[in-house]
Structure 1
Amino acid sequence: MKTSPLNGRALVHPFKTALAALIAALACEALELDQSLWAVISAIIVMQADLGGSVHAGWVRLLGTLVGAIAGVLMGLVVPDPTAAMVVAVFVTMSVCAIISGLNEALRLAGITAAIVLMLGEPGQSVVETGAIRFLETALGIAVALAVSLFVLPFRAATGLGRGLAEALSACADLYRALIQAEFDDRDTSKDIVEARARLRALQDANKTLIRSGFKEPRSKKRVEFLRGIFRLEQRLEEHLMAMEHAVESP
């Protein structure tokens, strides 16, 4: 069975993620930031298999951190009790993110950041300083992840999509061949049919993800728009093959 176009890069993604985490930790050490953990976590979360995915993850994390840090600082200044301030800040940030459609994905990150700002500050450090430092550490991790994604063995979703569409067409051909052999050659190709169908569906799911990521990549929109048209044609082809399979299986 042929593999998904993403599987060939199975070791590249872990390597780039580890590299981004290392650079983030070293950068925090050079800047004398005490809590390098948050930069490292951000680098790991933001580093995706393709550039578009990294850009999207970075934007979501940056927004969530910004909203959470601001809410945490404001509640810390207004509410004297840290625990009460944390509860209010988490409620406010998650409510804001739930109401504003563009912030939906940042909902949990905003709540986590607000809690961190209010509960994990350094002794003698004001809530304003804690919020600013947490945001800086997070932004640093995001910047490192995006830089590694862009300059170290870069992989664009649009490129992967082209390969994925070719793989999907090959899976369609395999499924068609197995169906024809089952109908006209009176051969038991049930195993081949199941494998080809499963491979096709896995590739279609992967390609759908690559389309979403591709639209977030710089200078890739036109190419992804064209490839999305091919993807839709393949979806219709898959529907015809499923109907053909049903006809073959019918007595």
Structure 2
Amino acid sequence: MSDVLIGSILSALSTGLGALPILFLKNSISHRWKDILLAFTAGIMMTAAMLGLIPESLKSGSIIEVSVGIFLGVLTLTYLEKKIPHIDLQHSKTGLKFDEKALLIIAAITLHNIPEGLSVGVSYASDVEETGNLIAFAIGLQNAPEGFLVALFLIKQDISRIRALLIATATGAVEIVSALLGFYLTRYVDFLVVYGLSFAAGAMLFIIYKELIPESHGDGNERYATYSFIIGIVFMIILIESF
């Protein structure tokens, strides 16, 4: 219990940690660096899903159960995407007024963090403690640039830097609740473990391919983003093998 609580808190607070530089940043960072950050976190999450969640779920159940769990994760994220309006943080031309637009961004980011928290929780419910730490670390790394981009967007909407930092941090707090929910559901209902782990993998893969990779390739920085994606994979492999 204490491990999942600590892991989920650290993972969630990474959103605020990533937003921290906006207190000192005088100018906006370039699209190239934003794309590099997004691609790097995509590589981190890809490795965590393929070398952490899926192998662990295969130890707990059959290939059919794992496949069902993966597709449930994908379908859930697909449903959420249809219900939550996706607004590009940098290229939106919706014409929304500030209050409505900011509220949509905050709501979308917060709700998208729910399956990430579930991923952390169900990972800690597995028999291998390192799996939970691995996924919490991967999600935390993914949250950092996300928090930075959200805070940067809010600043451009004439919100103070301190307030933008606090709001960005708060969007990650929902992961703590969803992590505990995922942990208890899978911890005390044994047959849900395999579905929980594979569900988390499917949700992460959806985020990678539907959100992170396309966004990192949207401004002509495909080559840099590709290099960064591969570096993220290698970085995570080194961590897995080392610890």
TM-score for both structures, normalised by structure 1? 0.30
Structure of higher RCO (CA pairs closer than 8 Å, 6+ residues apart)? 2
TM-score for both structures, normalised by structure 2? 0.30
**Which is greater in Rg?**
1
